[in-house]
């Protein structure tokens, strides 16, 4: 059914109220108009109220949207700032990470180099220690063979033995036993104070010039002739007297009071002292070279010169003679052992090392 099939409302009303009277129709028409107007007013009020309500809600919604948009904008700006800061921090972290990686690579390369160096040092440390020990033993052997310096040789061997003890390696056991035997032999030797005896000889040589000669210690002064009697004598007598005085000066006779006291001229006395010094210097040289025979001969000759030409009653001469006797009685030369056993042990250890290095 369409719109054309529906009859109009006015037609239906007219049909229904065809038989009514006109007054009733007018009242009904007024009531309908009032009702329609009231409905229209109510509809208008309701529409206005709805519009007002919708407008308030729209404003509230708009304000909420604006506030939320503002908050979102603020949050977006903060997020953008944080993102920028994070990007900056990330770049800085990347730079620091690159630096750390470079340092790590450098430290790793240094560690590798240090490990290589340590391995090389650990391989060569024993060689260096063995070279030091060998050098100490060779120096000790030279001190014994050339200078017979037992003390210096003993110090060198003890240092080598202490070094071997710190290393504590079984392959050096034979060398340590040889060193111990050589050290015991050197400690058992009698003490020969070569340098002390040499210093005492130097003191004796320095005191030779101060020793009094025997002829000077016992000279008795002669009484000089009185010149007063010649003052009133004649001229010829004074002349003869002066000539006699001059002749007496040419020859002098001294009474020493000592039997067999040698009379020496001043220059001969000088050469006597120098000869005594030469004897003492020769004894010192023989002492340092361990020449016992020459040492004894020179000391005996020096002692003979002192007893023959110098005043034995003088305390300095007596003390010097006693010093020479003590030096002559001291032992100069001892049988110094060699270090053949230790050197042989070093040679046996050196051969495997030479083969390994080749």
What pLDDT is stored for residue 185 in this prediction? 86
pLDDT for res 235: 75
Question: pTM, whole model, 2 decimals?
Answer: 0.44
Where are the domains positioned within the chain?
Answer: 124-190+339-357, 194-219+230-329
The Cα 122–Cα 353 span in angstroms is 15
Q: Which parts of the chain are beta strand (E)? A: none
Q: State residue 225's pLDDT score.
A: 45
The CA distances from residue 109 to 113, 116, 117, 139, in Å, are 6, 11, 12, 43
HEC string of 285-347 equals HHHHCCCHHHHHHHHHHHHHHHHHHECCCCHHHHHHHHHHHHHHHCCCCCCCCCCHHHHHHHH
Please, what is the Cα angle at 288 between 283 and 289, to 5 degrees?
Answer: 95
pLDDT at position 220, please?
47
In the structure, what pLDDT confidence band is assigned to residue 281 with cuts at 50, 70 and 90? very high
**Three-state secondary-structure class, residue 213:** strand
What does the chain come to in residues? 358
* Rounded distance between C-alpha atoms, residue 292 and residue 278, angstroms: 17
Query: What is residue 280's predicted lDDT score, i.e. its pLDDT?
Result: 92
User: What pLDDT does residue 102 have?
Assistant: 87
Phi, psi of 221, deg, nearest 5 = -65, 135
User: Phi and psi for 257 in degrees, rounded to 5?
Assistant: 80, 5
With cut-offs at 50, 70 and 90, classify the pLDDT of residue 191: low
Please give the pLDDT value at position 12: 47
Lowest mean pLDDT, pick from 236-240, 259-263, 296-300, 335-339: 259-263
Which of the residue ranges 253-267, 270-284, 339-353 has the most confident prediction, judged by mean pLDDT? 270-284
Quote the strand ranges of 101-225, DSSP E: none
**Between 151 and 275, where is the model more confident?**
275
pLDDT above 50 (res 18): no
pLDDT digits (tens, 9 = 90+) for 146-156: 777 778 888 88
Segment 137-164 shows an average pLDDT of 84
Q: Which of 166-170, 221-225, 231-235 has the lowest mean pLDDT?
A: 221-225
Q: What is the mean pLDDT of residues 44-49?
A: 80
Token pair for 235: 């001229």
Which pLDDT band, with edges at 50, 70 and 90, does 232 fall under? low
pLDDT of residue 216: 66
Average pLDDT, the chain: 77
Is the pLDDT at 263 greater than 60? The verdict is no
Dist CA 45 CA 54 (whole Å): 14
Q: What is the model's pLDDT at position 355?
A: 54
Assign 168 to helix, strand or coil: coil
What pLDDT, on a 0 to 100 scale, did the predictor assign at position 22? 63
Which tokens hold the place of 44?
């208008």
pLDDT tops 60 at residue 130: yes
* pLDDT average, residue stretch 298-308: 89
Answer whether residue 262 shows pLDDT above 70.
Answer: no
pLDDT for 236: 77
Span 70-75, mean pLDDT?
86
* pLDDT at 35 > cutoff 50: yes
pLDDT at 278: 92
Measuring CA to CA, which residue among 318, 282, 313 is closest to residue 300?
282
């Amino acid at each position: 059914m369409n719109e054309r099939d529906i009859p109009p409302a006015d037609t239906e009303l007219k049909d229904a109220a065809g038989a009514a009277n006109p007054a009733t129709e007018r009242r009904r028409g007024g009531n309908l108009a009032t009702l329609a107007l009231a409905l229209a007013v109510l509809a208008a009020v309701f529409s206005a109220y709805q519009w007002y309500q919708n407008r308030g809600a729209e404003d509230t919604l708009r304000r909420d949207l604006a506030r939320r948009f503002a908050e979102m904008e603020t949050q977006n700006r903060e997020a953008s700032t944080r993102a920028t800061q994070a990007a900056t921090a990330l770049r800085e972290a990347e730079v620091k990470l690159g630096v750390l990686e470079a340092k790590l690579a450098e430290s790793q390369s240094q560690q590798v180099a240090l490990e290589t160096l340590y391995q090389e040092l650990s391989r060569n440390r024993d060689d260096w220690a063995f070279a030091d020990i060998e050098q100490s033993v060779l120096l000790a052997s030279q001190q014994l063979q050339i200078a017979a310096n037992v003390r210096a040789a003993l110090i060198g061997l003890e240092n080598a033995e202490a070094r071997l003890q710190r290393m504590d390696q079984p392959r050096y056991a034979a060398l340590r036993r040889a060193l111990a035997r050589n050290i015991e032999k050197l400690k058992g030797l009698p003490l020969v104070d070569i340098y002390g005896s040499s210093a005492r000889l130097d003191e004796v040589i320095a005191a030779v010039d101060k020793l009094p000669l025997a002829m000077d210690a016992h000279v008795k002064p002669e009484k000089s002739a009185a010149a007063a009697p010649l003052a009133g004598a004649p001229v010829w007598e004074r002349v003869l007297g002066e000539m006699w005085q001059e002749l007496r000066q040419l020859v002098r006779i001294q009474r020493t009071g000592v039997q067999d006291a040698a009379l020496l001229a001043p220059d001969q006395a000088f050469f006597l002292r120098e000869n005594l010094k030469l004897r003492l210097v020769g004894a010192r040289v023989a002492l340092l070279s361990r020449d016992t025979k020459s040492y004894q001969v020179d000391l005996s000759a020096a002692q003979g010169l002192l007893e023959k030409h110098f005043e034995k009653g003088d305390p300095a001469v007596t003390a010097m003679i006693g010093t020479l006797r003590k030096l002559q009685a001291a032992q100069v030369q001892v049988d110094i052992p060699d270090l053949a056993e230790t050197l042989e042990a070093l040679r046996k250890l050196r051969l495997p090392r030479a083969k390994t290095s080749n």
